[in-house]
Amino acid sequence: MNRISIILAISALLFCCVACEDEDGLSPSGLDVDRVQDLLDWSNPVVKRYYDDYGVALMTDFDENLDIKFNFYESWANRFWRNMEIGKMERKSECDSAIAVLDTAVFRYFKDELEFQGEVYRSDFKKKYFPNKILITNKLIVGTDVSGLIMQTVNRPSKTGAGSTFCQSNDNAIVVNLESGMLNISPEKFEQVTKAILYVMIIYAFEKYDLYSMIPDAFYEFSKPYYGKRVYQVQEELGEEQHAISRMEWVENYHMVVTSVGPTDNMFGFLATYPIPDAKRDVRICIDHLINPETLDGARVETESDPFVYQWDARCSIKMWYIAQTLIKLGIDVMAISPDPNFREFISNKTQEDIDDITNNLF
């Protein structure tokens, strides 16, 4: 009898666990929806529009433990987020100003409807791929061992990332630092902060929803033989002795974009032991370069008549075309983002047939 009772008790417990697991899968819970709605500033039309139209909560009032600092399964992530200092804006005028900056300097590139080359794209990017919560603060301080998407862009706050930063993200939310004093230092600082946040917003969606799969296979073909290897491994396969290579050689050999921070901030080149990025990192570097074109030795040439001359090898240019086309199909206004008139002309005038012809001539 005792054995039967034990079996029944275990069965009941298992049933409860399965039921709880199914219930936990319903996200967000009704209680959390009510709590978030109570925290929103419904008098701000931008806040109201984003919540009503896209289900995105723009939160200047929040509970950091309930809204972003939870569900960490790795000790380093738990330590990193627990040690992060997140401030709160007190004055409504400051909150309204920060929300306006986010709306006009970052969100404006994500279109509900985007027309390009006679096609109209309606991807619902904000509704599908924005985080459910965006926390807006005037203080965001991180300690050592800084990680995150913010460190992969040329607009990162510093080489180490420690101290005051612009943005951090996890699966729960994105938190952005729009402290007015920092934004008003100079137009260059304003652009650095807002473009860093733009990069994080795009890559957040690529990471969480695997938008990498939307990039055509043709993008990856040129560099596929090198992904994930180290420089010396490729050299050994070619019968060469191990040696360091310049940034120009990196572009020519592996057909990958280089920036001042990715895949390395070593402006002298790459040691033989250096790892070549994987396919996803390759995509992220290209997206960052689209947002933040730079003039680098071995990459771009600047002249008086053409301040932005695209000088990558042909394969890199083709890869950048595929990146631009994918973002456009997602409703991201590449033509407004890119400051490079020659690149804008390149993606506007080249059709898929043109790109196929260029590709075929390379082989």
φ, ψ dihedrals at 243, nearest 5°? -160, 155
Average pLDDT over residues 131-153: 89
Contacts of 62-71 with CB under 8 Å at 24 or more apart are 62/88, 62/133, 62/135, 63/35, 63/39, 64/135, 66/32, 66/35, 67/36, 67/133, 67/135, 67/172, 67/173, 68/133, 68/135, 68/170, 68/172, 68/173, 68/175, 69/172, 70/172, 71/171, 71/172
Give pTM, 2 decimals: 0.87
Residues 6+ apart with CB under 8 A from 348: 117, 335
- pLDDT of residue 133 exceeding 80, the answer is yes
Residue 311 has a pLDDT of: 55
pLDDT tens digits, one per residue of 235-265: 999 999 999 998 888 888 999 988 888 888 7
- pLDDT of residue 142 exceeding 80, the answer is yes
CB-based burial label for 280 (10 Å; 0-12, 13-18, 19+): middle
Q: How confident is the model at residue 189 (pLDDT cuts 50, 70, 90)?
A: very high
pLDDT tens digits, one per residue of 34-49: 899 999 999 999 999 9
pLDDT tens digits, one per residue of 70-101: 877 778 788 888 889 999 999 999 999 999 99
Residue 81 has a pLDDT of: 87
- pLDDT of residue 170 exceeding 70, the answer is yes
Q: How confident is the model at residue 16 (pLDDT cuts 50, 70, 90)?
A: very low
Answer with the residue of higher pLDDT: 254 or 4.
254
- pLDDT of residue 29 exceeding 90, the answer is no
Average pLDDT over residues 141-150: 82
pLDDT tens digits, one per residue of 261-318: 888 877 777 889 999 999 999 999 999 999 988 755 444 444 444 433 345 678 988 9
